[in-house]
C-alpha cells in the first residue's frame, strides 16, 4: 500500500458516505422544489396529503433552516402570511398524525361571553379560535431559545404550561374543574359538564348504542386533549383495531358482565374501551354504559407484592449508582394507585381476560 493510500475497508466506507450524502442532498432538493411548486392559493388537507404523502413531515419544520416553505409560499410580510392553506389545516396536517401531541383546546369556535381573549392572541376570520390564537411560530423563525419556546406558546415562557390558559380564562373559575363530576348535590345531572365532551347532553335513561356517542371531537383524541401524557402499561399497543378473535371475546364479555366496550370512529380500541368516564349514578342502575369498577384503596395483597418488587428494584438501582459513580440514576418506582373509572377490575387479570380470553391471546 502506497503512503497516503486508504485501506480497502476505508475506501468502501468513504464511498458509501459520499453516496449517502449525494442521495440525501438530491432528496432535499427534490422536496424543496416540490413544495415551492405548490400554488399560492390555499389547498385542502386531502390535497396536501395526496401531494406530500402520509409520511412527508418526518422532521419539525419550525426549527429547520429553510423549513419556512413547508407553510409559506414566500417570506411573510405583515399582514399577509402567504400561507399555503388555511391556518388550521397547515397545523393539523402534522399534528393529527402522531407527529405532535393533540392539543387541549378546540379550534373554529367563538369564545363565550365569559372568555376574554387578549388582543395579542389573534382570532381567525369571524372571531373564531385557531391554532395561531395560542401558538406563535415566530420564535422558531428567529432561532430563539428552543427550550424556552418549546411549545411555541404565546407569552412564553410559563412556569407551568396551563398558565397560558389563564390569559383568556379566569383561574378561579377553571381551577380543579373536573368534567367527569357530573352530578350536583341534589343528585341531578349537570348538563353543562356533559357538553365538555358531548355535542348535547345524552339521555341517561336511553340505552347507549355503539357509535352513538355524539362527541364534540373524535373519540380517539378527546381524552388526550386533557390527559396529555399519561402512559401506562399496554396503552400504546392497545390503541389499534382488535383482531376478529379479540372482538368476539369482547362481545361475549359484554353479555357476561352487562357492560359496554366502546370502540372509536375507526373501530379501534381507545381510552374509553377500558375506562368509564362517567360518574357512578349518571346512568340508571344496571345500564351497560354506566357499569364501572372503583376501589377505595389498593388491596393489601397488591401492596405487599409491589413492596417486594420495589425492594429488588431499589437494590439494583443502588448497585448501578455505586458501580457508575452515581451517573446512572434510575427513576423511582411509582406506587400502585387505587383503580378508578374502570369498566372492569384489572385484578387477577379479569379486564385482560375479557378481551384476550382465558388463554391470554
Residue 284 located in a structural domain:
yes
Q: Name which of 341, 58, 100, 354 is nearest 228 in CA terms.
A: 100
Residue whose C-alpha is closest to residue 217's, from 201, 238, 202, 195: 195
- Report the pLDDT value the prediction gives residue 52, as an integer from 0 to 100: 43
Does 234 share its domain with 104? no
Residue-level pLDDT, tens digit, the chain, 361 residues: 433 333 444 344 444 445 444 444 444 444 443 444 444 444 555 555 544 444 445 567 888 777 888 888 888 887 788 887 777 777 877 776 544 555 567 677 788 777 899 999 999 888 988 888 999 888 888 877 888 887 889 988 888 877 888 899 888 777 677 888 888 888 788 888 888 888 888 787 888 877 778 888 788 778 876 776 556 767 777 888 999 999 999 999 999 999 999 999 889 999 899 999 998 888 888 899 999 999 988 888 888 888 887 776 655 655 555 555 554 444 455 677 888 899 999 888 899 999 999 876 5
Domain boundary among 113, 147, 171: 171
Q: How many domains does the chain have?
A: 2
Note whether 144 and 56 are same-domain residues.
Answer: yes
**Residue 318 has what pLDDT?**
59
Quick check: is 12 in a domain?
no
Are 167 and 187 contained in the same domain? no
Same-domain pairing of 79 and 138: yes
Q: Could you tell me if 147 and 39 lie in one domain? A: yes
**Would residue 245 count as lying in a domain?**
yes
Between CA 170 and CA 173 the distance in angstroms is 5
The reply to whether 115 and 250 lie within a common domain is no
**328 in a structural domain:** no
Range of the domain at 343: 183-295+339-361
Domain boundary among 124, 148, 171: 171
Indicate if 82 and 155 belong to the same structural domain: yes
CA separation (Å) from 127 to 43, 121, 122, 130, 351?
22, 11, 9, 9, 46
- CA distance to 120, 213, 281, 342, per residue, from 208 (Å): 44, 8, 15, 18
Same domain (yes/no): 39, 123: yes
pLDDT value for 124: 87
Q: Are residues 164 and 206 in the same domain?
A: no
- As a whole number of angstroms, the distance between CA 159 and CA 284 comes to 43
- Residue 305 lies inside a defined structural domain of this protein: no
pLDDT value of position 121: 94
139 SS3 class = helix
The domain boundary residue, chosen from 140, 171, 202: 171
Domain annotation covers residue 8: no
Q: Are residues 111 and 218 in the same domain?
A: no
Residues 157, 68 share a domain:
yes
Instruction: With beta carbons less than 8 A apart as the criterion, state whether 299 and 256 touch.
Output: no
Tell me, yes or no, whether 164 lies in a domain.
Answer: yes
Element (H, E) at 249: helix 244-257
Are 360 and 252 in the same domain? yes
Asked whether residue 1 is domain-assigned, the answer is no
What's 104's DSSP letter? Answer: S
Amino acid at each position: 500500500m502506497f503512503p497516503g493510500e486508504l485501506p480497502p475497508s476505508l475506501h468502501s466506507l468513504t464511498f458509501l458516505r459520499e453516496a449517502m450524502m449525494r442521495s440525501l442532498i438530491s432528496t432535499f432538493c427534490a422536496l424543496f422544489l416540490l413544495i415551492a411548486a405548490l400554488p399560492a392559493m390555499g389547498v385542502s388537507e386531502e390535497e396536501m396529503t395526496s401531494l406530500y404523502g402520509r409520511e412527508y413531515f418526518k422532521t419539525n419544520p419550525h426549527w429547520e433552516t429553510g423549513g419556512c416553505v413547508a407553510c409559506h409560499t414566500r417570506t411573510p410580510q405583515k399582514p399577509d402570511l402567504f400561507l399555503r392553506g388555511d391556518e388550521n389545516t397547515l397545523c393539523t396536517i402534522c399534528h393529527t398524525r402522531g407527529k405532535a401531541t393533540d392539543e387541549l383546546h378546540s379550534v373554529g369556535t367563538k369564545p363565550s361571553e365569559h372568555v376574554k381573549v387578549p388582543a395579542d392572541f389573534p382570532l381567525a376570520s369571524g372571531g373564531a379560535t385557531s391554532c395561531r390564537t395560542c401558538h406563535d411560530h415566530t420564535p422558531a423563525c428567529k432561532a430563539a431559545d428552543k427550550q424556552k419556546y418549546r411549545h411555541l406558546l404565546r407569552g412564553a415562557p410559563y412556569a407551568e404550561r396551563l398558565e397560558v390558559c389563564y390569559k383568556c380564562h379566569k383561574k378561579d373559575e377553571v381551577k380543579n374543574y373536573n368534567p367527569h363530576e357530573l352530578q350536583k348535590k341534589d343528585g341531578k345531572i349537570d348538563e353543562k359538564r356533559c357538553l365538555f365532551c358531548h355535542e348535547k347532553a345524552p339521555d341517561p335513561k336511553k340505552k347507549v348504542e355503539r357509535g352513538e356517542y355524539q362527541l364534540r371531537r373524535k373519540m380517539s383524541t378527546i381524552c388526550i386533549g386533557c390527559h396529555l401524557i399519561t402512559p401506562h402499561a399496554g396503552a400504546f399497543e392497545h390503541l389499534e383495531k382488535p383482531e376478529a378473535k379479540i372482538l368476539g371475546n369482547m362481545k361475549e364479555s359484554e353479555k357476561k358482565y352487562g357492560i359496554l366496550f366502546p370502540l372509536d370512529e375507526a373501530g379501534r380500541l381507545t381510552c374509553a374501551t377500558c375506562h368509564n368516564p362517567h360518574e357512578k349514578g349518571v346512568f340508571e342502575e344496571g345500564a351497560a354504559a354506566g357499569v364501572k369498577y372503583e376501589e377505595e384503596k389498593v388491596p393489601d395483597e397488591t401492596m405487599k407484592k409491589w413492596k417486594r418488587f420495589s425492594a429488588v428494584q431499589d437494590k439494583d438501582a443502588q448497585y448501578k449508582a455505586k458501580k457508575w459513580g452515581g451517573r446512572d440514576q434510575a427513576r423511582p418506582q411509582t406506587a400502585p394507585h387505587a383503580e378508578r373509572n374502570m369498566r372492569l377490575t384489572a385484578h387477577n387479570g379479569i379486564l385482560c381476560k375479557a378481551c384476550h380470553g382465558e388463554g391470554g391471546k
